Amino acid sequence: MNTSKTVVATVTAALLLNLAIYGLGRAAGGGFRFTAAGRPAEVDALTVAGFTALPLLAGMTVVAVLARIWPWVVPTALVVAPAIALGTIPVMTIPADFDDPSKIALALCHVALAPVTVAGLLRLRRRR
């Protein structure tokens, strides 16, 4: 699989997994509503898709491009990417006033990003 296909496959896998987790959260009764800037807000499937695909696509693309120049980029990303995915749980998800099913599902979306991203990065490392 070439580099572009690896990036696309990684983003697609994460997107499908996170949308499935979101769907399970909805099925479990999650309303995915919270307060932002004193106003009600809601996380919908499009928000989950965007918050999954856009940062991951940007990050994987940057790593794919820079790894051709600097070989240390992929090993660094193997540490940084999961740390960001997991580190955003206590920063973004836990403090928000979601109901429990929503909070659990969104936290699991962050957790799911770690192994998917690592798998994609390992594939990129093999391409060099």
Question: How far is it, in rounded angstroms, from Cα 101 to Cα 29?
Answer: 6
Q: Which residues of 24-45 are buried (b: 16+ CB within 10 A; e: fewer)?
A: ebbeeebebebeeeeeeeebee
Please tell me the predicted confidence (pLDDT) of residue 58: 98
**For the chain, what are the domain ranges?**
3-127
pLDDT in tens, 58-100: 999 999 999 999 999 999 999 999 999 999 999 999 999 999 9
Segment holding 75, helix H or strand E:
helix 73-88
CA-to-CA separations, 94 to 43, 61, 73, 75, 126, in angstroms, rounded: 14, 29, 30, 29, 36
Report the share of the chain in percent with pLDDT over 70: 98
DSSP state of 72: T
Please tell me the predicted confidence (pLDDT) of residue 126: 77
Measured at the CA of 47, the angle between CA 80 and CA 22, to 5 degrees, comes to 85
Question: How far is it, in rounded angstroms, from Cα 32 to Cα 55?
Answer: 21
The pTM for the full model equals 0.93
